[in-house]
Structure 1
């Protein structure tokens, strides 16, 4: 864990010119919403090609003594490994300016949460849902949906989100990493799914923006 936090600080330092900001679970941890995160996740809206940014980060980490290797590259997502730790870099649209946190520069909480909602719809991971649920007292379901929509270039369809929520019933409890009460989380997801269903029947689907 100490190595991950040290690597995280170094990634932010070598990527400061772009700049890079913590995203996803790392950002939610930086905001104190969750107490854990996996690997290092950072985002930028810098106009330079992400492949080039990732290569610069790898070079900078190497100069700091990390064995950094670029393992995946693309226009919107790149992945590196450094001494066994995964570093994910992504291009995002920042709806609000990144903020300084004790862990370093991070996406504003609404942006970080919107990324998690989008990720959950795309891949359906239980750990994504558990992180979203950690903010349940601060954001309504429609607000969470709107945050996810802002970070979904192809739009966020409520039936897709509803389907993901329903399929959490078939996920093993161990999929909900960091969740202290899986039964409560499942009930919350079921209620959210029911709420979406009622709104769809009533025609309450927001227009894409």
Structure 2
């Protein structure tokens, strides 16, 4: 059985200043909302955060950014956060931008124990500066290294007491690979169930990758609401 935390603050208490953390989610979808809030309240600082994006100004990782708890951000998209832009322009935040597919593969490789791989993405651009390149079948590729983290924070729809996780819909984009790439992975669950309640054929992340569980409610905010006008008949 995995460690089940009653409070989100207890779940992240072991994360210290200067840690490297991975955070699951895609936009605001599938982010570990309560664990992020607990990190804000812990006032831990100097974090290197690896995540697809940095949330928005008042939610998700944007809350950590607002409190200046993030030292470096490694991500593929940062366009929804004005505070992010301000800190970068003022030299307050270090940023490493990576093509989204490359970022996903770097995380997946790290979790699989693969130290590096070659990819055509970024060849001939600033992304390839200082990196080894090789030619295969007449096409040039750049060497990218796998990514791991001290801690991974993910969110799942359901999880059992052994740490087996099931994600919903877009939550599957980054959460499964991030869960495997952390030395310590804490999962925020919408529903914590007993072992026999999950179908083994539906499990996305096996419990061997998970060290702690926290069951909490999520607001599930929408990053950008778009509506379509309907012509009146």
State the TM bucket, normalised to the shorter chain.
under 0.3
Q: Which has the larger radius of gyration?
A: 2
Using the size of structure 1 for normalisation, the TM-score is 0.27
Using the size of structure 2 for normalisation, the TM-score is 0.25
